[in-house]
């Protein structure tokens, strides 16, 4: 079935997913999230190597969850909505392929949390990021309280969450919340160029490395190092590793 709200474009081994609800600032309603789940399930199995996520239009990456919907529901429905959000973002985080967020405007609430679940975040100069949930009487509910502190540290995470303030691209860069600021007109092309730098490497090794970094954030150092040793040795069972090492030796002899 053709997605209604998500545009999927393939450029070789790169997949660009565009949230296409510009009239709603690309807010993430249940339909959008269900489309994400379906698309991500397919991407787990296909030949693509890097995923880029962005928003349609010039104003927003994603302004977050559907507040109009949330204003009409109670605790039970809210829990189901949160579970759906977590399902989408956990899939992005655990996908073996690297995922780049091309943040082209507002990334607020659930939109910021979507960016946090990605591996690399590039922002346009007009980007604004934040977790403003407390201003409408709730806490972040799609991983914001957990991923944000792991990326920028607890003190800065508390600052953004407690105040609900929005920050611009420059402050986000200083905080380490985004990796780079790119002019809006070049955001997708430079994201694709960056993706090609990843693609030229071993996709198996990149996937293993992504898993190790993600697991390492939740493990003590000793456990993380043991997992690294196991994973490093596992790479030696890869035929691609054998071919790449042979080519390297032949080139340098």
Mean pLDDT score across all residues of the chain? 95
Q: Which of the following is catalytic: 13, 35, 133, 250?
A: 133
Backbone φ and ψ for 21, nearest 5 degrees, come out as -135, 55
61-85 pLDDT per residue, tens: 999 988 888 999 999 999 999 999 9
Tokens standing for 183? 């002019």
- Rounded to whole angstroms, how far apart are CA atoms 196 and 177? 22
Residue with tokens 């399930």: 41
Residues of the chain with pLDDT below 50 are: none
Write out pLDDT tens, residues 92-106.
999 999 999 999 999
pLDDT value of residue 253: 79
**This prediction's pTM:** 0.95
Catalytic residue among 9, 13, 79, 113: 113
Domains of the chain plus CATH, in order, are 6-199 (3.90.226.10), 203-251 (1.10.12.10)
96 is catalytic: no
Q: What is the pLDDT of residue 1?
A: 64
């Amino acid at each position: 079935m053709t997605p209604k709200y998500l545009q999927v474009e393939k450029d070789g081994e790169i997949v660009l997913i565009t949230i296409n609800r510009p009239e709603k600032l690309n807010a993430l309603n249940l339909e959008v999230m269900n489309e994400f789940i379906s698309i991500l399930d397919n991407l787990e199995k296909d030949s693509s190597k890097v995923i880029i996520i962005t928003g349609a239009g010039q104003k927003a990456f994603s302004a977050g969850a559907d507040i109009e919907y949330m204003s009409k529901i109670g605790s039970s429905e809210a829990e189901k909505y949160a579970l759906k959000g977590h399902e989408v973002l956990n899939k992005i985080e655990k996908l073996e392929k690297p995922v780049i967020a091309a943040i082209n405007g507002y990334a607020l609430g659930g939109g910021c949390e979507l960016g946090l679940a990605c591996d690399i975040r590039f922002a346009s100069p007009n980007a604004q990021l934040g977790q403003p949930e407390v201003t409408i009487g709730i806490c972040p509910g799609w991983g914001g309280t957990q991923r944000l502190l792991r990326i920028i540290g607890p003190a800065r995470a508390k600052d953004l969450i407690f105040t609900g303030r929005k920050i611009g691209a420059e402050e986000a860069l200083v905080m380490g919340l985004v990796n780079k600021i790119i002019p809006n007109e070049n955001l997708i092309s430079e994201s694709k160029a960056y993706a090609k730098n990843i693609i030229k490497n071993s996709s198996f090794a990149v996937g293993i490395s992504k898993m190790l970094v993600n697991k390492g954030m939740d493990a003590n150092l000793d456990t993380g190092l043991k997992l690294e040793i196991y994973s490093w040795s596992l790479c030696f069972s890869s035929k691609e590793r054998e071919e790449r090492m042979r080519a390297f030796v032949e080139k340098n002899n």
